[in-house]
Amino acid sequence: MNLDKRTFILGVLSLTAVILFAANLLMPRGAVADTAIYNDSYQLQTGRVNGGGEALYVTENRTGNMAVFVYNPTSKSLQAVATKNVMAAFGGGGGVPAPARGYGR
């Protein structure tokens, strides 16, 4: 059996494509900031941080307090960045604002 140059190159390219396809399937999925978990006591939400990386936002539903945690790769641990009441973070309003006078007239 005699292989010409074209058949050999086609075989090598096909083998490379199969190896790359298998490597793509077996590669672990990275962290993606699109997950939200909710129950009666807590809400957990992941999201991107302006400086790069990802953060975990934990909201306690009963008190309305929120804590933000960011992963520190040097110490390999979560660090609390900020804690605040959710209502204070959004202006502290207790409800829906009243419409301006003369609205709709």
In tens, the pLDDT along 20-36 reads 999 988 887 766 656 67
Is 5 inside a domain boundary? no
The whole-angstrom separation of Cα 53 and Cα 56 is: 11
Tell me if 100 is assigned to some domain: no
For 5-62, strand residue ranges (E) read: 36-38, 42-48, 54-60
Domain span at residue 40 reads 36-89
Evaluate whether residue 74 is within a structural domain: yes
The DSSP 8-state label assigned to residue 98 in this structure reads P
- 97 lies in a domain? no
In a domain, 42, yes or no: yes
pLDDT band at 1 (very low <50, low <70, confident <90, very high): low
For residue range 58-74, what is the model confidence (pLDDT) as tens digits? Answer: 888 888 888 989 887 78
Residue 77 lies in a domain: yes
- The domain tally of the chain equals 1
For residue 23, being part of any structural domain is answered with no
